[in-house]
Structure formats: structure tokens, C-alpha cells
């Protein structure tokens, strides 16, 4: 199992390339929830989500001759943009397999960042197999969205920053809630926090119907999601926990919570109205769990990861009842 040294090395690689996102606090939300809530705003990261960290670290760590062959990835959209931006920083080609129904904003931004898109049917296509085929045919290096130690280490730099920022503010954290898809983000964060902070409990948050990590943690082994479920949280829809990520999360996490689409919509709306932050549904599930009181604060301090903010304007208006036109 990887250790904290990989995260420390990743942080060195990212210096000058990424945004050290703020840890934000709002009195209105503290009062509502009866404790202290500190938001790690990765929606303000380059490409609008935490994914740039892992993609950049993976590509930066490659042997230069291997890196020159280009990269290939598969993604619902946020990892796609992270890979495209990271590849662009090194002047190499990137091909990304994306579902045809991915939000238009994510598709357009990935193309704008220079990647070639290959679209597939989310219900019938095998994105991993498609990416592996392209890698075998072209020599491009596969950059997985979560099941890779270098990707996990890059995401873990968020945990390192959280520990730094808590120390700078003279604050402590009792718990941390994190959105989970394949589990790479929370795995990396958990490794960093186990090294740098004492006593903090770490929880996963997932959409109902895609709560494979929550159920896997309860059972002690990887279990898959049943087919046919739907959710507005497109960014964190995965079939089952990762092979690399799950052992880390089983060792480090205290549990997990599932939230339904209505609870997520309420969280997105409150973040917009109170904090003035635009957060996509998948990026807001950790706050949704706290807002729905899946775990009560009771005077404690919670760090909440807001993992991304890539949401189409039309979807933002239609799904969350928000008039953002100024009319």
C-alpha cells in the first residue's frame, strides 16, 4: 500500500502548476448545522475540479520518452479535463473516452484544452476496454481516473493542504466528508490525514444507487452497484470501488453515507445562495450528507470537500430551481 511520501513528492511536482484552493467558512451554515463547517473548495481548482492534481502528477512522473507517446484516459468529464490540461502543459497528445451524454460543458472544455474526444454509449460501451485498445495500438500511456497510485497521490495533496490550512488557522477537525466515485480522492486524502492529523474521522459520501463504497465498507469487501440506477451526480458514477483504492479506504475510512438527488439539489442550491459557489451535483454530495444530518455535528468541526464545479448553465437552472439569468 502506498504511503505519505508519494503524496509529498506529488505536492512538489504540483508547485506552480495547481491552485492551493481555500478552506472557506460561513457563519450561516455553522449556525444552521450546529457546528463548524470548513469547505475545501476544489471547484476553484484548475479545470474546475480536483482531477487536475492526479492527472498532472501521473503525467509528470512518467519517463520523458514514455510521456512523449501521449496519453489516453476515460472519464465522465472532470478527469477528462484534468488529463487534457496536464497533457497540454507537457505539449503531448491526449485522447479521452467520454460518454456521449456527458454534460456539454465538460465535452467542450476537454476539446478546448486540446484533447481528442471519443464518445461512447454509457449504457452499452466499455470505456476502459476502449482506452486500453487505443493504448495498445498507439503506445499512449493510460491515465486511469482513480485506480493508480500516482493519481491517488496527486489527489492526496488536498489532504496535505487541509492539514496545513487547519494549522495556519489554529483550527482542528473532528471529521472530514468527501465525495466518492471510484475512491481515489478520499483514498489519497485519507493517507495524508492519517500522517498529519490525529483523531479525524473520514467518511465517504455517494449518490443513492451508486453507494458501492458505503456498502463495501460495511461488508468488508468490494461490492458492485445494481444496474439501472440514475442520478444527477454524473461526475461520480462508477460500477464498483477501485481495486487499488478500496483496500486503502477500508483501512482508513470510518464509514459512508448515501444521499438522494433531492438532498443533493438542496445542497447545491444552498451553496449557491449562501456561499456564492457554483458546485456540480457530484461535487456537493459530501455537503448534502451533512445538510441532511446523516451525521450530526453537535459542536464539532467538519471539513467538507467540494470536489468540482463543472455544471452546464441550463442544467444548473433546470435541476436546482435557480434563476441565474438576472431576470
Distance of alpha carbon 233 from its chain centroid, rounded?
Answer: 11
Cell of 314: 441550463
Distances (CA, A) of 302 to 37, 41, 115, 157, 180: 5, 14, 37, 18, 17
CA torsion 144→146→147→148, rounded to 10°?
70
- What integer pLDDT is reported at residue 123 of this predicted model? 78
Assigned CATH topology for domain 4-49+149-320: Rossmann fold (3.40.50)
- What integer pLDDT is reported at residue 102 of this predicted model? 85
- What integer pLDDT is reported at residue 325 of this predicted model? 43
pTM (2 d.p.): 0.95
Domain 51-142 is in which class? alpha beta
Where in the chain is CATH 3.40.50.1100?
Answer: 4-49+149-320, 51-142
Task: Give per-10-residue mean pLDDT for the chain (327 aa).
Answer: 94 98 98 98 98 98 98 93 97 95 89 95 86 95 97 98 98 98 98 97 98 98 94 93 98 98 95 96 98 96 97 75 46
Grouping H, G, I as helix, E, B as strand and the rest as coil, residue 268 is helix
Neighbours of 235 (CB within 10 A): 27
- What integer pLDDT is reported at residue 315 of this predicted model? 73
Written as one string, the DSSP assignment of 111-126 is: HHTTPEEEEE-TTT--
The residue whose grid cell reads 481548482 is 45
- What integer pLDDT is reported at residue 10 of this predicted model? 98
DSSP state of 43: G
d(CA 27, CA 123): 43
Cell of 169: 488557522
Distance of alpha carbon 229 from its chain centroid, rounded?
Answer: 20
- Pairing outcome for strands 94-99 and 116-120: parallel
Give the sign of the dihedral formed by CA 262, CA 264, CA 268, CA 271. Answer: positive
- What integer pLDDT is reported at residue 321 of this predicted model? 63
First to last CA, the chain: 53
- What integer pLDDT is reported at residue 319 of this predicted model? 67
Written as one string, the DSSP assignment of 44-112 is: GSGGGBTHHHHHHHHHHTS-HHHHTT-EEEE-SSHHHHHHHHHHHHHT--EEEEEETTS-HHHHHHHHH
Grouping H, G, I as helix, E, B as strand and the rest as coil, residue 129 is helix
Give the residue numbers marked as catalytic.
51, 307
- What integer pLDDT is reported at residue 144 of this predicted model? 96
Amino acid at each position: 500500500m502506498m504511503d505519505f511520501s508519494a503524496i509529498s513528492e506529488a505536492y512538489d511536482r504540483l508547485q506552480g502548476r495547481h491552485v492551493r484552493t481555500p478552506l472557506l467558512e460561513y457563519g450561516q451554515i455553522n449556525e444552521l448545522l450546529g457546528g463548524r463547517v470548513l469547505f475545501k473548495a476544489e471547484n476553484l481548482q484548475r479545470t474546475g475540479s480536483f482531477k487536475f492534481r492526479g492527472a498532472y502528477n501521473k503525467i509528470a512522473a512518467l519517463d520523458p520518452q514514455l510521456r512523449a507517446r501521449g496519453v489516453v484516459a476515460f472519464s465522465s468529464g472532470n478527469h477528462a479535463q484534468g488529463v487534457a490540461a496536464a497533457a497540454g502543459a507537457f505539449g503531448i497528445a491526449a485522447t479521452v473516452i467520454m460518454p456521449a451524454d456527458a454534460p456539454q460543458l465538460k465535452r467542450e472544455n476537454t476539446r478546448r484544452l486540446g484533447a481528442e474526444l471519443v464518445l461512447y454509449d454509457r449504457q452499452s460501451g466499455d470505456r476502459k476496454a476502449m482506452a486500453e485498445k487505443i493504448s495498445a495500438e498507439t503506445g499512449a500511456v493510460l491515465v486511469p481516473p482513480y485506480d493508480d497510485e500516482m493519481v491517488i497521490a496527486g489527489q492526496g495533496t488536498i489532504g496535505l493542504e487541509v492539514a496545513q490550512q487547519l494549522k495556519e488557522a489554529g483550527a482542528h477537525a473532528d471529521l472530514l466528508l468527501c465525495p466518492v466515485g471510484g475512491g481515489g480522492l478520499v483514498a489519497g486524502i485519507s493517507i495524508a490525514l492519517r500522517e498529519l492529523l490525529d483523531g479525524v474521522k473520514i467518511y465517504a459520501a455517494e449518490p443513492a444507487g451508486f453507494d458501492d463504497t458505503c456498502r463495501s465498507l460495511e461488508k468488508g469487501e468490494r461490492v458492485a452497484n445494481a444496474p439501472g440506477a440514475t442520478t444527477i451526480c454524473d461526475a461520480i458514477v462508477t460500477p464498483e470501488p477501485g481495486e487499488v483504492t478500496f483496500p486503502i479506504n477500508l483501512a482508513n475510512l470510518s464509514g459512508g453515507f448515501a444521499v438522494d438527488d433531492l438532498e443533493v439539489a438542496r445542497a447545491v442550491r444552498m451553496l449557491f445562495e449562501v456561499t456564492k459557489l457554483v458546485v456540480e451535483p457530484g461535487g456537493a454530495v459530501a455537503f448534502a450528507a451533512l445538510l441532511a444530518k446523516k451525521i450530526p455535528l453537535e459542536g464539532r468541526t467538519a471539513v467538507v470537500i467540494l470536489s468540482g464545479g463543472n455544471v452546464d448553465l441550463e442544467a444548473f437552472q433546470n435541476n436546482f430551481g435557480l434563476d441565474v439569468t438576472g431576470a
